[in-house]
A = this chain, B = another copy of it.
Amino acid sequence: MSRITNMSYGKTSVPVMKVVRKEPAHEVWEFVVDVTAESPELERSYTEADNSPIVTTDTMKNLVNYLSFSHDFTSLEDLALDICRSLQKRYDHLQKWTVQIEGAGWERLAPGGAVHSISFARTGPEVSFTTAVVDGTKSSLRSGIRDLLVLKTTNSAFSDFFRDEFTTLPETRDRMLATSITAEWKVPPSEIDHAGINHSIREAILRVFSELKSESVQHLAYETASAVLESIEEVEEISLRLPNKHYFLVDLSPFGVDNRDTLYLPTTAPHGDIYLKLTR
């Protein structure tokens, strides 16, 4: 006899643009929403082709649109929590709901230095996201960023590592360090100042990246996570994924040139990948 050990369903990638036509300047919120429902009540939809417990994913999309319109939110965190709780309240035969929102950055255009009230340019490649979960009477909230590409041209070392006959990597006390930061942090699922907290976390991450004399990406990850926990009290936990995007010195010696720390070959794959989760 087989048994279901996991089941869920939902709507993925509902795209939304909201324009708030305020004075003196319009605001735009563009984001993509994923909704997922989980409940033992759904089992008969799988095993007996009984669709009666299924809230259609099209209905989920309708509610995402309706709530995005009617809720005068000031952060995607507030909206994600609202959608989550509205879904659970309305469809109370389904106990657990997860709502993830990814935001697209738009900044005001300022040609000639004058900030414009109705025109915007897309920023990137960095993406912000937030995930709200309600499960019965419990709820949680995590927010984060991904695709924040950064590099430093010095103040990064990697030496004194484990060696054996398969180790050909030379030690270095000075290398380029480049990574694409993914960070996710857990904060209280309430209407605190999410925009402010997110900004402070991002600043702390970039400050450690800029200032640390790093001995390894592991070292950087730990010092970064520690600095966030120390400086922003609302953060209960933070995880970091830091790929090591290698830049290799190009050998120009066949052409009579000594390429000392100047010309590098950017690479994508393969790359190192370092992960850490730190909890208060």
* A90 nearest in chain B by CB position: B164
Q: Given A2-B229, A69-B259, decide whether A111 and B11 contact each other with a Cβ distance below 8 A.
A: no
Q: Given A150-B122, A203-B112, decide whether A49 and B12 contact each other with a Cβ distance below 8 A.
A: no
User: Is the CB of A219 closer than 8 A to any CB of chain B?
Assistant: yes
State how many angstroms separate the Cβ of A71 from the closest Cβ of chain B: 11
Is B9's CB under 8 angstroms from A169's CB? no
Is B209's CB under 8 angstroms from A119's CB? yes
Cα distance, A5 to B264, chains bound together (Å): 36
Cα distance, A150 to B165, chains bound together (Å): 37
Question: Which residues of chain B come closer than 8 Å to A259, judged between CB atoms?
Answer: 69
* A216 nearest in chain B by CB position: B51
Q: What total of chain A residues lie within 8 Å of the partner, measured CB to CB?
A: 133
* A254 nearest in chain B by CB position: B168
Residue of A10, A229, A266 contacting most chain B CB atoms (<10 Å):
A266
Chain A, residues 1-35, CB within 8 Å of chain B (1/0): the string is 01111111111111111111100001010101010
Q: Given A3-B279, A237-B5, decide whether A28 and B153 contact each other with a Cβ distance below 8 A.
A: yes
Q: Which segment of A130-138, A154-162, A189-197 sits at the interface? A: A154-162
User: Is the CB of A232 closer than 8 A to any CB of chain B?
Assistant: no
User: Is the CB of A173 closer than 8 A to any CB of chain B?
Assistant: no
Is A109's CB under 8 angstroms from B150's CB? yes
Is B56's CB under 8 angstroms from A162's CB? yes
User: Is the CB of A40 closer than 8 A to any CB of chain B?
Assistant: no
The 5 A-B residue pairs with the shortest CB-CB distance in the complex, in nearest-first order: A122-B149, A13-B269, A6-B277, A49-B215, A111-B207
Residues in chain A within 8 A of chain B (CB atoms): 2-21, 26, 28, 30, 32, 34, 36, 42, 45-47, 49-59, 61-63, 65-66, 68-70, 90-91, 106, 109, 111-112, 116, 118-126, 148-155, 158-162, 164-169, 176, 203-204, 206-207, 209-211, 215-219, 221-222, 225-226, 229, 237, 239, 243-244, 247, 250, 252, 254-255, 257, 259, 261-280
